Amino acid sequence: MKFTDNPKYKNNLILRLTFEFAVDIVKFSEKLDSLRKFTISNQILRSGTSIGANIKESQNAESKKDFIHKLKISAKEADELEFWLYLCNEVETYSNADELIIKLIEIKKILNKIIASSKNNLNK
């Protein structure tokens, strides 16, 4: 069974988007590996797949504060990844990351909305 076939995840927008994004990140990292850009590739693979993994982990949070904390870790990983992707776009010998940046910006918007909403609910 595939991740995206599971109704539990298929109906959760942020989980679905970050999982699909992680697949794209793996492919991009493999492309960089084929160009022998191992150091940046490893950084991108680590931070890019960590976003969805932390969001997945947040689904089993022990409390609302723990949930928010795990989402904030995802947001930090997204910010780090954004740095690496922009770096790729600045160095001529690296693959262009524009498509990934566009997807990442959308994920960050959704993630920040979830964090803000969760904080507001926490304070009620």
Kindly list the domain boundaries of the chain, sorted by start residue: 3-122
- What are the pLDDT digits (tens) for 8-55? 777 899 999 999 999 999 999 999 999 999 999 999 999 999 999 999
Dump pLDDT digits (tens) for 55-95.
999 999 999 999 999 999 999 999 999 999 999 999 999 99
Domain 3-122: CATH architecture, name and number where available: Up-down Bundle (1.20)
Residue 30: in which H helix or E strand, if any? helix 13-34
pLDDT band at 123 (very low <50, low <70, confident <90, very high): confident
**Residue ranges of the alpha helices (H) in 35-97?**
38-58, 64-90
Alpha-carbon gap, residue 34 to 57, rounded angstroms: 31
